[in-house]
Amino acid sequence: MRCQYCSCTDSKVIDSRPADDGNSIRRRRECLNCGKRFTTYEKVELNPLFVVKKDGRRELFDSQKIKTGIMHACDKLPVRMQEIEDMVSRVEQKCYSTMEGEISTEQIGDLVMAELRALNDVAYVRFAAVYRKFTDLGTFMKELQKLVDEHQV
């Protein structure tokens, strides 16, 4: 690892600890040339995961899109940012665990809906309305009734 201060490539690791919920390792290093300390992060290089869109196009997986969708669904609700980050991490992990190299938008949407359903009913319904493209009040009411029936059991 190259020192950011003197560009020397010799350094020693002073401390290592898990970061980002165990998805990376934070290393505290000391340059053997100038003695200054700096931090590096080590993360597993993931094989590319492609998302198959409804029209058949494929694009690289981007967890930021999942985060944006969840944030819109949780807007003005009592949901902490850490809960959203944790949800995104779980969905991302499940997507990569398919080990197929590609996943459909429908599968991703179902994973997000399951996470939102467990977290907040209103966020779940908001996301479902967009994801399932509710076009009329009847479809929307059926989804709400399912939610009400589940809570009564």
Written as one string, the DSSP assignment of 4-66 is TTT--S-EEEEEEEEEGGGTEEEEEEEETTT--EEEEEEEPPPPP-EEE-TTS-EEE--HHHH
Give the containing element (helix H, strand E) for 133.
none
- Check whether residue 74 and residue 120 sit in a common domain: yes
Output the pLDDT for position 141.
Answer: 81
C-alpha 5/C-alpha 37 separation (Å) is: 9
Q: Is the residue at 34 inside a domain?
A: yes
C-alpha 149/C-alpha 98 separation (Å) is: 32
- Residue 47 vs residues 29, 79, 109: alpha-carbon distances, Å: 28, 32, 21
- Check whether residue 139 and residue 91 sit in a common domain: yes
Q: Is the residue at 77 inside a domain?
A: yes
Q: Is the residue at 5 inside a domain?
A: no
Q: Is the residue at 112 inside a domain?
A: yes
Output the pLDDT for position 153.
Answer: 64
Q: Is the residue at 2 inside a domain?
A: no
Q: Is the residue at 4 inside a domain?
A: no
- Check whether residue 28 and residue 55 sit in a common domain: no
Q: Is the residue at 124 inside a domain?
A: yes
Q: Consecutive sets of 10 residues in the chain, 153 residues long: mean pLDDT of each?
A: 93 92 88 96 85 95 95 95 94 88 94 93 89 76 79 71
C-alpha 48/C-alpha 62 separation (Å) is: 10
- Check whether residue 104 and residue 31 sit in a common domain: no
Q: Is the residue at 54 inside a domain?
A: yes
Output the pLDDT for position 55.
Answer: 95
The residues, any chain, with a CB within 8 Å of residue 38's CB and separated by 6 or more, are 3, 4, 5, 11, 28, 29, 31
Instruction: Kindly report the pTM of this predicted structure.
Output: 0.66
100: domain range?
A: 50-152
C-alpha 25/C-alpha 122 separation (Å) is: 36
- Check whether residue 93 and residue 125 sit in a common domain: yes
- Check whether residue 32 and residue 91 sit in a common domain: no
